[in-house]
Amino acid sequence: MNAFIPFLQAVGRGEKLKRDLTVDEAREAMRLLLSGQATPAQIGAFLIAQRVKGESADEVVGFTEAARTFCQQLSLSVPGLIDLGLPYDGKTRTLQLAPIAALVAAAAGQPVVLHGNRRIPTKCGLGPADLLEALGIPVDLPPAVVARQVAELGIGFLYVPRFCPAWHALTPLRHQLGLRTVLNTVEKLWNPSRAPILVAGFFHKGYLQRMRQAMGRLVTQGWIVQGAEGSIESVPGRVTHLLPADPQAEPLVVDPQALGLGEEGSMEAPPQPGVQAAVARQVLDNQPGPARDTVILTAGVLLFLGRRVSSLEEGVSLARAVLDSGTARQWLARWQTLT
């Protein structure tokens, strides 16, 4: 019997017989899946069965740990590095500003690693790779080059086809399924840079506690952000909640009004790289508006989580200063040429 079948049977049987996999079982199932020992039909059936059943924290941990072994590791020794777990399927309704906030944070001294792919289901929206490329930043780079960017600039972007080809090979099948699967979750949690701090966005409330439990077993320090479209931005006019992976730690509340950035404005934008890159350039040129305020808030949060500052107020002030001085724009120019 094919070695993958027992795992498919465990999660895909009827209501009374199906069960969650143990961590070890989930780890082995993902290993078989990524090493080509499961057929496309088996992979599709397994992913749909997991979606119907709902993945447990143990399963997410096992899947993520196994997926990491197929990723090319970065050779990095950067204290306080933050990994941003952004949705690989991107955004379809609102501005993609997390990469710009990461750039501002890096220019202020907080190292950040982003990662992603293109045209990932279910939304197939505008992701970090699309925005960065529209800003003139090469994204299809070897991990060794990205490691050098992080070491010298404090920021870099890992492109899935480069650092995990086995994962990228699943993309056509994911398009055929057309549904969100546990793979979308693993992508946010796998932390390919092995950064000590992981900041990931999750939107659905029913999912948060399971992800919190899983994250706490996968990273030294983790934070879940309830951001728009499952991302990590803190936006004006709305309080943003951050849940720590450590159940003993206190949640963090980002209140824009208390931080002097409470004026609400439209964050809607089409998923077109050129349009959104133009907005990003306006932010880096320090033009006032909700996009700039969002970048300041989000970068301020990253600076606080990375312990570059002692309060959110200090983080927001530093992020604003980096934009005011033109340093963030200079950082973009350096990133464009460091390949």
Q: Is the pLDDT of residue 204 over 90?
A: no
Of the ranges 93-107, 117-131, 254-268, which one carries the lowest mean pLDDT score? 254-268
Residue 28 lies in a domain: yes
Specify whether 33 is located in the same domain as 156.
no
Output the pTM of the full model.
Answer: 0.97
Q: Tell me: the pLDDT tens digits for 274-316?
A: 999 999 999 999 999 999 999 999 999 999 999 999 999 999 9
Q: Is the pLDDT of residue 77 over 90?
A: no
- Give the pLDDT score at 73: 83
Higher pLDDT, 266 or 163: 163
The domain tally of the chain equals 2
Looking at the DSSP assignment, which residues form a beta bridge with residue 157?
114
- Mean pLDDT of the 97-109 span: 99
Specify whether 184 is located in the same domain as 270.
yes
Q: Tell me: the pLDDT tens digits for 123-174?
A: 999 999 999 999 999 999 999 999 999 999 999 999 999 999 999 999 999 9
- Mean pLDDT of the 55-66 span: 98
Which residue, 21, 37, 68, sits at the end of a domain? 68
Residue 73 lies in a domain: no
- Give the pLDDT score at 134: 99
- Give the pLDDT score at 55: 96
Residue 287 lies in a domain: yes
Range of the domain at 29: 5-68
- Residue 14 sits in a domain whose CATH number is 1.20.970.10
User: What angle (nearest 5°) sits at the alpha carbon of residue 87, between those of residues 82 and 92?
Assistant: 135
Residue 206 lies in a domain: yes
Specify whether 62 is located in the same domain as 89.
no
Which of these, 130, 229, 131, lies nearest to 180 by C-alpha position?
A: 229
Q: What percentage of the chain has pLDDT greater than the value 70?
A: 100
Residue 74 lies in a domain: no
Residue 76 lies in a domain: no
- Give the pLDDT score at 52: 95
Which of these, 102, 169, 8, 166, lies nearest to 306 by C-alpha position?
A: 102
Specify whether 127 is located in the same domain as 178.
yes
Specify whether 120 is located in the same domain as 234.
yes
- Give the pLDDT score at 6: 97
Specify whether 55 is located in the same domain as 89.
no
Specify whether 228 is located in the same domain as 152.
yes
- Mean pLDDT of the 183-190 span: 97
- Mean pLDDT of the 249-271 span: 92
Which residue, 38, 68, 98, sits at the end of a domain? 68
Specify whether 165 is located in the same domain as 249.
yes
Specify whether 40 is located in the same domain as 118.
no
Q: Is the dihedral angle over the CA atoms 276, 172, 51, 215 positive or is it negative?
A: negative
- Residue 161 sits in a domain whose CATH number is 3.40.1030.10
Q: Is the pLDDT of residue 247 over 80?
A: yes
Q: Is the pLDDT of residue 1 over 70?
A: no
Residue 77 lies in a domain: no
Specify whether 56 is located in the same domain as 153.
no
- Mean pLDDT of the 25-29 span: 99
- Give the pLDDT score at 227: 83
Buried b (16+ CB within 10 A) or exposed e, 74-98: bebebebbbbbbbbbbbbeebbbbb
Specify whether 140 is located in the same domain as 28.
no
Q: Is the pLDDT of residue 190 over 90?
A: yes
Cβ–Cβ under 8 Å, residues 245 and 252: no
- What value does the mean pLDDT of the chain take? 96
Residue 272 lies in a domain: yes
